[in-house]
Every structure is written in C-alpha cells, then in structure tokens.
Amino acid sequence: MKGNEGSLVNIYLLLVIIVLNALVILCQIELDQHYKVTIPRMVTTILIISSLIYRLYFLYGINHFFLMTLLCITFLLIVSIKDIKNKEVPMNYLLLTIIMGFVLVWINPNVTLIESLVGGGIGVSLMILGVITRNAIGQGDGLVVMAIGILVGWQMTLAILSYGLIISACYSGYLLIIKRKSRKTKIPFVPFLFIASMIMYLL
C-alpha cells in the first residue's frame, strides 16, 4: 500500500510540475510574441517550478493546504510577470483564482467561508482606498489582494500584504537613495506580494 501511495504522490507531483511549467511558459509567450522557448530557458523554468513544488511538498505534504498554497504562489507569479511587463492584471487568471478560492473553501479545512469573504474584503477595501486617494493604490493591486484573500483567508492575506508593503517600501527607499526613481514613479506592487508569499510559505 505504501508503495502504491508513493507512486501516486510522485505521479501527482509530476503532473503538477508539467501543468505549472506549461502555464508559466505560455504566460511568457503571451506577453512577448517574440519569446523563444530555448532549452536554457526551459531548464531554468523547470528547475525553479520543480524546486518550489517539492519544497511545498516537503513542508506540507499532499493536502488541501498544499494545493491552496501552490495556487496562491502560482497566481502571484504569473500576475507578477504580467505586472512587470505590461503593468496590468490578467482578468482570466484573476477570475480563475477567485473561482478556485470559492470552490476550495468548501473542502479546505484550513480556511472557512467567513475567513475567505473577509480576506476578499481586504482587497475590496484597498480598491475603495485607491479611489479615495486617486489611484495612489492601483485598482489592479486591490483585485489581486481580493483574489488571494478569497483563496487563503484574511489572516494569511494580511501577512502577505504586510510583508509586501514592507519589502516594497524598502525597495522604493533604496531607489530614491540612489536616485533611480522619483516619488511619483509607480512601481509594480504584485511582485512584492509574490516575494512576500514565498517568504510566508517557504521559509
């Protein structure tokens, strides 16, 4: 039985690795029509994604939390790529993550429906704050926080958001010190949320 379970786990992890690598590569191709899928790029992508998945598996095993965490990090990774290159939030990935969040909440013992809704409310609050401050906070950033809030609940969302703000502030301060950016320069925020999620889940 243990041998069969081990084989199933390996097959599951292999399928997850294949799907996520395909998603990331397709995302890169979608952003850049001239993007060439070379062997070094493929190897780099596969190594990064595989390391991420096996690290999550080592920490949490195969369960609902593993799936939720993987979805959160993958979503933030893909949106980060798009945010850096196009400064926009892909609505298809956003809607998919929100749907998956509401689906998982019924089978995931780690996040209740109330926690999920409150987590989404954090993102909505950021969107309202963005309107009040005349887009000092991007609406897209609020949508991203809403999506991960629905997926992982309000507690983890607050933690990721807090770490993201701290890392973003440090980076912005560094750029100001070396005079690479001005105070009015807008910096993509989603990549900092991605880094924050990596810190929260992998360290």
Supply the pLDDT for residue 103.
Answer: 87
The answer on pLDDT for 158 being more than 70 is: yes
Residue 25 confidence class, pLDDT cut points 50, 70, 90: low
CA distances from 179 to 39, 172, 176, 185 (A): 37, 10, 5, 11
Considering the entire predicted model, what is its pTM? 0.85
C-alpha to C-alpha distance for 115 and 29, rounded to whole angstroms? 36
pLDDT at 96 over 70: yes
Contact 136, 168 (CB under 8 A): no
State the average pLDDT over residues 163-177. 88
| Sequence-separated (6 or more) residues with CB below 8 Å from residue 86 | 31
Q: Cα dihedral sign for 32, 37, 41, 42?
A: positive
pLDDT cut 70: percent of the chain above it: 80
Residue 140 contacts residue 89 (beta carbons within 8 Å): yes
